[in-house]
Amino acid sequence: MRHIMVLNAKGGCGKSTLATNIASYFATEGANVALADYDPQRSSLDWIDRRPANRPEIHGVSAYEGGLRHVPRSADIVVSDAPARSHGPELTDLVRHAETIVVPVLPSTIDMQATANFLKELKSVGRIERKQAKIATVANRVRDNTLIWDELDEYLSKTRVPYIAALREAQNYIRAYTRGIGIFELPEYLAWPDWEEWEPLTDWLRTKRSQP
């Protein structure tokens, strides 16, 4: 069972967006997927509730109530949507089962500074120090040709953490979330630019470089 976690202590950076789309990607590829939501706000579980019956099934897990105890044994992949403000023992406990950790970062000075502090703490967690889990960053909700995007791109390139992809700010993510589907389940004519941006991330998630 593969365990992928979307994690950043900074709130509002798009963790649920990445988690739901990673889950839908693997589900459309034929994997048996569970999506574990650690946030009592239930953004990922609300998305599953909207999911049409004719789409590949994704099993929702209320991880904020009981952790991963209710993940089906048949699951090939577990995608965890981690809560904000995770630090100290809570952070250590969260990453205990994670093999791959994706850290989304928004193009803002506040988010970059918060992520710098968070990555420093995350890399000090024993499981990460022992190289039992791999970390990567993703630039999220970026707008081309803006100074702050250039700053984020430069910052992530210097973090000494693999910087895998940059995802644009697009209405397609809202369209997909509202319908309970992922970006990969939208029509090609509408979503092909987003598919291209996701390709480096999905390719990385499929390689051994993303696993301990």
Q: Residue range 89-97: average pLDDT?
A: 89
- Measured CA to CA, the distance from residue 206 to residue 136 in angstroms comes to 13
Band of pLDDT at residue 87, cut at 50, 70 and 90:
confident
Q: Could you tell me where the beta strands, DSSP code E, fall in 13-117?
A: 33-37, 58-61, 77-81, 100-105
14-70 pLDDT, tens digit per residue, is 999 999 999 999 999 999 999 999 999 999 999 999 999 999 999 999 999 988 999
Amino acid code (one letter) for 11:
G
- Measured CA to CA, the distance from residue 129 to residue 83 in angstroms comes to 22
pLDDT for the residue numbered 78: 98
Q: Could you tell me where the beta strands, DSSP code E, fall in 118-202?
A: 134-142, 163-168
Instruction: Indicate the helix (H) or strand (E) that contains 112.
Output: helix 109-123
Of 93-102, 165-174, 176-185, the poorest mean pLDDT is in 93-102
- Measured CA to CA, the distance from residue 79 to residue 4 in angstroms comes to 5
pLDDT for the residue numbered 35: 98
Cβ pair 121, 87 in contact under 8 A? yes
pTM of the model: 0.95
Domains of the chain: 2-205 (3.40.50.300)
- Measured CA to CA, the distance from residue 66 to residue 120 in angstroms comes to 28
